[in-house]
Structure 1
Amino acid sequence: MTSFDTLWSTILDVGQHRNTRGYRRFAWGDADLTLREWFRDNASKRGMDVEEDRNGNLWAWWMPTGWVGEPTGAFVTGSHLDSVPDGGAYDGPLGVVSAFAAIDIVRERGIEPTIPIAITAFSDEEGARFGVACVGSQLTTGALKPERALALRDVDGITLAEAMSKAGRSTTHIGTDDTLESKVGVYVELHVEQGRALDLVDKPIAVASSIWPHGRWEFTFSGEANHAGATRLVDRRDPMLAFASSVHSARTAATAHGAVATFGKVHVLPNGANAIPSEIKAWLDARAADEETLTKLVEQIEADARTHSTSDRIALEVFAESITPIVEFPSEPREKLKRALAHLGDVPVLPTAAGHDAGILSAKVPTAMLFVRNPTGVSHSPDEFAEATDCNIGAEALADVMADWVTD
């Protein structure tokens, strides 16, 4: 077995739900903490020093022989280890496992780096537990303020501050990492493709060109709880109606704008089979090819939701939970990746509509991404998949990029 195959097999059972076969690796939960120990163990086996920064992000360092002082200008790679509810095995962990495998490949080639190399696992990229994506990288870059982050709550009312404290972490100093720009020379994230573009052109890997702008908006539809049997239809103030109409309108609006819009997370109060709901909280995920289109799309979805709410005598509040602008990956790192992979032939350059830590970090440091083919195109689902052959090609490609970058 290759280094990648051996490593990959060691995490497949962590956080996997017995019935759905999907993964539930939520920030600061048991599965997340288990994977953090797995990260430390594999770094230690490779003689890499591990630090967990103030925001819960993990860094494993391979320092050049004779290096003195703090790391600067490092080649950094990795991804994240958490998942969406019942997510697939590849989204996030593929990048971390590939990074360790790439270290092994580079060492097998007898290459000695001239600059530091780091593998990182960013905390709570998916935002599955506390609702905001890329918490670790957003805190590190200053895009997310500590006071807001610590006050975030999960469905059980537990705050991020409480969850971190329970896991034995201090929250006193979370926030912007002022050393980020000096210690990171480039961040290259390998990720499973979230779509079928590579399968359609029969290519195992691609280089990223950009990330669509995207965001999450919380819609709260407030009505009046009442008896499902005894209340006349004409007397009802049922927020489910306005919500359902808004879901349909969002799909229509997204189609018209050439974009995507999804209401995928819903909380219903009081959530009784024989009760008219008093409140529907629903989260809109919207993405578009450019920021102007995204703004127009969300404005239309909100306007339609207000029309439906007024018609049904429902109150509506809309809160922008997070908005990430478009990311155009800089040409210099992208071209350097393409040159390092020229021996593979034509490597496609593709945009993605999925958000990543690389997109957050791009505001502060040079970033680039590699995608590994997903033949099904399915992601955020137990059916997410990548062939073992392609995963190994991805790890080799990352090693090629790493070797080229650290021996310049």
Structure 2
Amino acid sequence: MDFADPGGDLVTDTDRRPALLRRGSWPETARVGDVLRQETVGGALLLAAAVAALVWANSPWADAYFRVRDAQVGPSSLHLHLPLGGWAADGLLAVFFFVAGLELKREFVAGDLRDPRRAAVPVAAAVGGVVTPAVLYALVTLGTPGAARGWAIPTATDIAFALAALAVIGRFLPAALRTFLLTLAVVDDLIAIVIIAVFYTAHLSPLPLLGALASLAVFAVLVQRRVRAWWLLLPLAVLTWALVHASGVHATVAGVLLGFAVPVVRGRGDGPGLAEHFEHRFRPLSAGVAVPLFAFASAGVAVGGAAGLGDALADPVALGVVAGLVVGKPAGIMAATWLVGRFTRAEPGEGLAWIDLFGLALLGGIGFTVSLLLGELAFGGASAADGHVKIAVLTGSLTATALAAVVLRARNRVHRRVHEAETRDLDHDGVPDVYQVEDR
């Protein structure tokens, strides 16, 4: 006899062991699907932008690329006379982190992270996926002068890049795995934000920071009152960003704080909550414009042929980054997930196996956007070490993608069967039948 567990999984009397990964409710699954579709498109644009930057930076017109990237614009009096590459890293990525802040708050208030039992697996996996590559990087670069500054580079997962790869190699991935990947990436973003704020703040100016907190407080009061007037909120957001930048804290942190200020729960009246409203407006801008332009500004590095590539990857810093992404990241994710399963006596889930989690863990080794940002923060955007880091991040991410493709492709037939069961809608009511088992 079959029955449905509280998480929506169909299990049998002979297998009542708890599942590490569960689908969740239909509304949550549908929302995750919408988010993943937008991020997949953004990932394709990100890849196209990165390839364009690499081709241009290694073409006879490479000087033009570097002149454009390094051209400085903006008012010096406001400490905003920055190169265009700096505007991409400090300005455009603030939009990306604003959307990440909205997603983080939604997950903690109304999503999977609200339930400690459901949050345990992705949170543990994200922590393991940060600690292990950092330790492995430190071991590989041990004794290399100045290398310790880059310990955080291989700790990030690029969800847009990972989903773009997933759209090609794992189109039938079950809902539980997709939800796990997205939730892990959300927690990963939170850890990255903390790392940037705590470890990559070179100096701190108290007055601009206090001004930023004041403007953030005004912004928070307005959004808590459900104010949506862009002409009022946007200047406050820009002011907060500018003051955080002037304070010495990396400006992207302002985006996260602004996202955290937006309420998730709906107020009185009809219509979506303000966080959902802002996410709907800004996610396409983040995925389709901000992140691809940052990739275009950051991924352009002169490889210099096979010899130049070999020299770059012979640098212990580059080797540490590649090892952290390709080996450390999946090892940390798998070890933490296995430990949670060991202590809770849980299995992966209906129709799933540990090899599926390994495939996702390999995808977690795709570190691109935040890894490139951390490389610039650690070594400076114009340094030789940063160039080697860029080559290492690209090499590690592509290697992780190829390995994930092998693993997930081998399970494609199983995933297709689970996907068909999860999308079957015999009564044509718009809700797959598997999510209505409890009602029958």
Fold shared, TM-score > 0.5 on shorter chain: no
Pick 1 or 2: higher relative contact order, CA cutoff 8 A, min separation 6.
Answer: 2
State the TM-score, normalizing by the size of structure 1.
Answer: 0.31
- Higher fraction of helix: 2
